[in-house]
A and B are shown apart, each in its own frame.
Chain A
Amino acid sequence: MAPLKSMEKDHPLIDTHFQSFFEDFLLYDLHALIASADNHSSSNTFKQGIDQLLSVIDAKLPSLRNGLQLLQDAECNKLLLPTGFQGIDALLGGGLRAGQLTELVGPSSSGKTQACLTSASTVAKNGGSVIYFDTGNSFSPQRIADLVGQTSGYVVGNQAELGPLQRVMERILCYSVFDIYQLFDMLQQLKINLKSKIVESDHRIQLLIIDSISSLITPILGGSGPQGHALMISAGYLLKKLADDHNIAVLVTNHMVAGEGGTSKPALGESWKSVPHIRLLLSREYGSNVCNISTLKHPSVASGRAAKCTMYL
């Protein structure tokens, strides 16, 4: 909310008299303010000013919803998106849920990028659009083509089937992001564009992937000020708001760092733990194709459940 003096242009009632009288508007009880306005000479204009200010504040608040409305919203809009990665689908009861932020955490080469690519190809094949933010130049279009081909019979070399493959791959948009500020810019732009666009039912954005968000946050986390933490939490908040407002499933990846006693723990620290709705831990034994996935945090499933799946190459 802007300082009172910057609102003077739009709302002439909030003039200098008003400002000097109601210096810290939000701090005081409303009835006490109205009572003190009564005792003043220009009490009517003051009361109208208070009303106008209250309406400005109300306009900024989202509407309240009751439980039944939330349930209806969940049933119609917040659907499960199958990822095509059997382990994840098994653990999450069907797939990624629209409106929630899911995090995949695991050591290097455990299958996080493969899970992201598989999810992107499955969602695109089922008709939705995917936005992929790539911070490590790991987006491989060849791998996407192979994955789409494997499960739907489109052979890449076959000329006749290039049309459907092209349509599926054109629904996946890949952006290279190398900076946390660049990420903020793009998320803001996405928020504004989604708000102002008329909803296209056919190919609307269903999945947003950031691979990996930890490489954007690690350079600014720690150090002298709380700046890094603030940006990290703001990024989490922006992603969750985007997910909820526009019914998008958000998938991010994180890496591991050394913890106490030689064990590993997820990076980004304690404050990040509460940001994603769902956290899954991936690991892969050296030299094998089998990926182990377990739940670290889930709002409705007990954590500690595990699943295995084989990664195809």
Chain B
Amino acid sequence: MEVGMLPISASKRGKLLAAGYTTLHSISRASPSHLATDIGVSEDEACEILKYASQTSALDPSIGSSNASTLEGGQTAWTMLNEEKFATRITTSCADLDNILGGGITCKEVTELGGVPGIGKTQIGIQLAVNVQIPPEYGGLGGKAIYIDTEGSFMVERVLQIAEACIEDMSEYSHHFHNTVQDCEVKLHPNGILENIFYFRVCSYTEQIALVNYLDKFIEEHKDVKIIILDSVTFHFRQDFDDMALRTRLLSEMALKLMKLARKFCLAVVLLNQVTTKYIEGSYQLTLALGDSWSHSCTNRIVLFWNGDERHAYIDKSPSLKSASAAYSVTTRGIRNSNSSCKRIKMV
């Protein structure tokens, strides 16, 4: 294996190559002090390089994996299928929207929602932050939420309003389906719901990237976080970014880290995006911002748009969902089916 594939800094790599160490084989034969004098680094750094080299070449054929699979660390499609059957989804409180999503927002995936200003992206984000806390008895996940706010559009009074509406809906639901009054005491209180939303405000793109890097450690300590909402991922990357190539690199790295978080901790990541115009085939069309490379950084993409007077959602990209669109509305109680009165609730 080549030295170029080790995760070490460019200067150390240059020194190793200049001294003639091009393969890991040659490094692993040298002792730390020998290596340190040869390439001119401290002995600690030489030890670190040897550690990396031995980690990667400790895939020793003599130890070998006899009856394990050809490559470790993966799952068969069959195990994943069985796991998927038991996965709960996060409802959006709008039955039509849930239908096209196959039940709601899936955990382990990154979903991107984008639309013109005023279409309801932040409203959906807040609704999801509340809905993730619905207890398992009512078909929810019973988890906490992380809300990362880049624009300052998170209004606590609105969250309280949506939380109260959600609790009322749950007690009404349990009244229909449970006989005794004691059973349907909903143990949630609006303040409790507010307590389970971790709110972060970021004011620049460096803060945004630093926060995404920090989330790994944060979620290790708060294992019941089940959704991360980034509202909006575009804001700090749009204006005044001189170096577009740097922007692409930063965004793709951030996307990979979010994907890793979603997979590692089995949570849902929801990214809210803005729109821009693009010149395609002779006309200007609205597309999601951040460019072509970013459009590949999510698992599912849903575009929100106005259809006459109604708000619609359209599944633009998904590996497993059909392309479909559904109507929804933003009411005082949160996101609901369009043209339905607030009293009529459809909860799964």
Contacts and interface: CB of A to CB of B under 8 A. Distances in A.
Nearest to B52: A181
Interface in A21-77: none
Interface residues of B, number: 69
A54 to B, nearest CB: 19
Contacts of B29: 2, 6, 9
B221 to A, nearest CB: 21
A300 interface: no
A131 interface: yes
Given A108-B317, A223-B246, A212 B70 contact: no
Interface string A1-21: 111001001000000000000
Interface in B50-105: 56, 59-61, 64-65, 69-78, 80-81, 84
B109 interface: yes
A72 B252 CA distance: 44
Nearest to A267: B293
A128 B63 CA distance: 26
Contacts of A176: 259-260, 263
Contact of A174 (B80, B249, B279, B316): B80
Interface residues of A, number: 77
B5 A231 contact: yes
A200 to B, nearest CB: 10
Given A141-B81, A192-B59, A222-B245, A175 B74 contact: yes
A194 B70 contact: yes
A214 B296 contact: yes
A136 B74 contact: no
Contacts of A313: 322-323
Contact of B256 (A135, A188, A195): A135
Given A107-B292, A215-B297, A169 B78 contact: yes
Interface stretch (B20-28, B154-162, B182-190): B20-28
Contacts of B298: 136
B65 A193 contact: yes
Given A166-B78, A169-B76, A131 B70 contact: yes
The 4 A-B residue pairs whose C-beta atoms are closest, nearest first, are A2-B26, A140-B320, A141-B81, A175-B74
Given A113-B319, A185-B56, A234-B4, 5 more contacts: A136-B297, A173-B77, A188-B1, A214-B296, A222-B245
Interface of B: 1-2, 4-5, 7, 10, 13, 19-23, 25-26, 29-30, 56, 59-61, 64-65, 69-78, 80-81, 84, 108-110, 245-246, 248-250, 252-253, 255-257, 259-260, 262-263, 279-280, 291-293, 295-299, 301, 316-317, 319-320, 322-323
12 contacts: A9-B29, A124-B77, A138-B299, A145-B81, A173-B76, A192-B60, A196-B61, A197-B70, A218-B293, A221-B249, A258-B291, A267-B293
